[in-house]
Amino acid sequence: MGYSAYEILSVSSLTGLVLCSVWIYFHHGWQGFNTKKLPWYIGRGIAQTGSSFLVIKSLAHIPMADFYGIIFLTPMVTTLLATVFLQEKIGIYRIAAIAVGFIGVLIIAGPSFASHNIGYLYALLAVGFASVGAICVRKIGRETIPVRYAFFPFLICTIIFLPLALYEGMEMPTNVLDASLMILYAPIALIGILTYSTGFSRARDTAMIAPFHYTQMIWGVMFGYVIFGDVPPMTTFFGALLIIAAGLMVLWREHLLHKNIAARAQKTPI
């Protein structure tokens, strides 16, 4: 029996919302739900909700390895958006990295784009939403109540998808495994959101932490093979390699820039 994306997201987000609410209330009271950065939290929640929905839709059409290869664009798109919204400077190296990244996506999609184009489109849109979410986290900054990073995405996701799931007609899980996976998604997502958001909010520069996304390729290939029997073609590995190389070039460039800035600061007399 299949479950709709609406049902999967609404059940998991509602579970996560309850977990976050209980945690915030018992540790901080009702005041814990109040924040001066509510617009950015709402933006983050909408971006996270859109990204989660598009991820599910994309994985229904394309192999996991291809999906993760495209998701590798997120660091570069995030870097590009950071120049607009965070006034972080962009140079020729970042521009070149973004261009190489998109070439890598074209190689991954390749001839299969004709038959699975909607899946690749979903993945590209997921990249956009995830990048916007990362920018919102940067605007929020360090959070004294880290659970709020997850509370608002779960809240927005529940508000949007629970009515749609109820309208469409929810299917009760027919076995313990399905029910367990739906429920376990919430605490796993909670841990992921907390660690991801904390990393981005505390990073010295967006481009310094974004390339760590690339470890997902290992998990994507492994789970795709073990669970679904997917064996990625060489074009997927080659395209992903281009994207990873482009991202690592940005990382190394940023490392050198910050190293030079720190060296100049030490030489400058006070």
Q: How many CB atoms lie within 10 A of CB 149?
A: 24
CB within 8 Å of 204: residues ≥ 6 apart: 258
Contacts of 180 (CB under 8 A, 6+ apart): none
Cβ atoms within 10 Å of 99's Cβ, excluding its own: 12
- Output the CA torsion sign for 225, 228, 233, 236: negative
72, 101 in Cβ contact below 8 A? yes
d(CA 211, CA 162): 34
Amino acid occupying residue 112: S
Distance (Å, whole) CA 66 – CA 105: 9
Round to whole Å and give the CA distance between 197 and 195.
Answer: 6
Residue 214, C-beta contacts closer than 8 angstroms, at least 6 positions apart: 72, 75, 243, 244, 247, 248
CB atoms within 10 A of CB 92: 8
Per DSSP (E only), the strands in the chain are none
Longest Cα separation, the chain? 71
Amino acid letter, residue 240: A
**H/E element holding 270?**
none
Q: Has this prediction a pTM greater than 0.85?
A: no
d(CA 168, CA 135): 33
Total number of domains in the chain:
1
SS3 content of the chain, % helix, strand, coil (to 5): 85, 0, 15
Q: Residue 226 is part of which domain span? A: 5-267
Dist CA 41 CA 32 (whole Å): 14
Token output for 228? 């679904």
What tens-digit pLDDT sequence spans the chain (270 residues)? Answer: 467 778 888 888 888 899 889 989 998 888 888 888 889 999 989 998 899 889 888 888 888 777 877 877 777 787 778 777 767 666 777 777 777 877 877 777 666 555 657 888 898 899 999 889 888 887 887 777 778 888 888 899 999 988 888 887 777 777 777 777 777 777 887 787 777 667 666 666 555 565 566 666 666 677 777 776 777 777 777 877 887 787 777 667 666 666 666 666 666 555
